[in-house]
Amino acid sequence: MESSALPAPSAVPAILAALPERPLVSVVMALGTADPAHLAEAVASLRAQSYPEWELCLAVPPASALDALAAEDARIRLLPAPSGSPLAALDAALNSARGPYLAPLAPDARLAPHALLAMVRRLAAEPDLDMLYSDEDRLGPDGERRDPHFKPDWSPETLEAGFYTGALALYRTSLVRAVGGFRAGSEAAPEYDLALRLTERTERVGHVAQILCHRRETAEADEAAAGALAERARRTGGLDSVRIVAPGLYALRRSLPTRPLVSIVIPTAGRDSLIGGRTVDLLVACLASIRGTSSYESIEIVAVDNGDLRPSTRAALEQFGARSATWEQPVFNVAAKMNLGARAARGDVLVFLNDDISVITPDWIEAMLGLAQNPGVGAVGPKLLFEDGSLQHAGVVFGEGLPDHVRRGYPGDDPGDHGSSLTNRNYLAVTGACVMVRRVEFEAIDGFDEGYAINYNDIDLCLRLGERGLRTVYCAEARLHHYESRNRVPTVDPAEQARFRKRWGARLARDPYYGDAFGIRPPAFELDAERFPQAARRMVEAWR
């Protein structure tokens, strides 16, 4: 993230002079059905850029007004618009582009005056980047700015849930050409299709956390976007299904090439609790829910008890085909209990599950496995709902170096921030109340850190997987009830908190998936009156 405020005009020459290179940025645009007045605004915003090294490759039908513009500014290159779709026009613009970086731009979008300068400064700092995107907002009918989108850093699974990278985006031109440019058949969603194909070739993707582009509201091309996702899945491992969740939001499910044994490890104290107005044995109810509701057939269950289960509970273990392992130490340590269960389990995939859980979606394991099999994924966690149906878990974010559940207590059908609750999304961590991890990755980091006997062992697990370059994913399609009390005030051992801060404090100073402008007490993707001004000072231009 840039550390400077919006540069004064007098400072721009020095900033430009300090750049090691001034690459040409080829902005490609096709007129399509855009309002000519909006196109004029887009071109004017380009001509107002503080970074001068750009060209506009504009494929349009002949127009005297545009001819006059091109005559005034040699950087504007008018190209004959091929007959047919705007896609052909975009491809013509791409073919004529001379710069090493390509910037597709809608003809009704506007750029902030420093947009290209901010992007090129980032490229100067990280010249290996193949793709770079910024934050953005929307322009209303009267041109007013609204709906700011403070985006996460590079998030592969989030991109498969919608075109979150959007605009402004710069792509390495040679790579765009190598993947085939704007693909035939992607007419209604060409840029999304391009981003999907390009990121199959590279993970060198950067994010400038500044609102640099202002776009007008447009209808989502959901069918075309879903088709692009389906093609991505076919290219990268096989398609099960693509579902349109909401405008611009999608649920991609890859097929499972194998159906490995999944070992569900349940640490339990064999206690009762009040659920639905009646007292139930939590472990028995959890076992009954797994066996009675889950559609995945290759499951084993290992319950890790304290050696004091009641005879009726032990009988239920046998009834539901579960095995048990006994924690025989006098000191409570849930991390050690989960490690014990993992050693007793036989599956190649491990699911650590609280005993106060019941299954809602029968294919919860299939949904999580579909993500866990993605190369580079380490941990997967589901959506968890309180007994009253409100959100308990939809991902974990960090504020002031400590974790918390985002949008906890919101309605169960809450869409979140730009679909954050409705669709799969990358986070730094998910809750250990239900988390899936492949055994090989679990054992590579020696399982749970038993130094966190009560708190933070789940978060630490995800973060250590992250140190190995593995991503954590919230799986919105897997839904379970978690009967933890909504009103329970979590208590944390000060020693464990101090140990966690010492181990992870430096890395968690900034959460790459949760913008600086959002509140942390509680975290909800809501702009915070206290934090937003501080974040704004670190942005070249804050939303206003």
Give strand ranges (E) for 452-539: 471-482, 518-520, 523-527
List, in order, residues 6 or more apart from 231 with CB less than 8 Å away. 193, 196
Per-residue tokens: 365: 């394991």
Give the type of residue at 94. Answer: L
Structure tokens, 540: 């070249």
φ, ψ dihedrals at 349, nearest 5°: -125, 130
Q: Residue 4's pLDDT is what?
A: 39
Cα 514 to Cα 398: distance, rounded to the nearest angstrom: 8
The length of the chain is: 544
Mean pLDDT by 10 residues, the chain (544 residues): 57 89 94 76 93 92 72 88 76 92 94 95 96 94 88 97 96 96 84 96 95 87 94 93 96 95 96 89 96 97 95 95 93 95 98 97 98 96 96 95 94 95 98 98 98 96 97 98 72 89 91 91 85 56 40
**Contact (CB, 8 A) for 148 and 137:** yes
Q: In angstroms, rounded to a whole number, what is the distance separating the alpha carbons of residues 431 and 396?
A: 7
Specify the pLDDT at position 62: 67
**C-alpha triplet 410, 421, 412: angle, nearest 5°:** 40
Diameter of the chain measured on Cα atoms? 89
CA distance 468 to 447: 13
CB 138 within 8 A of CB 216: yes
Phi-psi region of 401 (alpha: psi -120 to 50; beta: other; left: phi over 0): left
- Vertex 400, ends 396 and 403: CA angle to 5°? 20
pLDDT at 251: 97
Tell me whether residue 387 is exposed, middle or buried, using C-beta atoms within 10 angstroms of its C-beta: 0 to 12, 13 to 18, 19 or more.
middle
How big is the CA angle at 504 (ends 498 and 510), to the nearest 5 degrees? 120
- Neighbour count for residue 209 (Cβ, 10 Å): 22
Q: What does the block give as tokens for 297?
A: 């057939």
Specify the pTM.
0.93
Q: What is the pLDDT of residue 541?
A: 43
Specify the pLDDT at position 277: 87
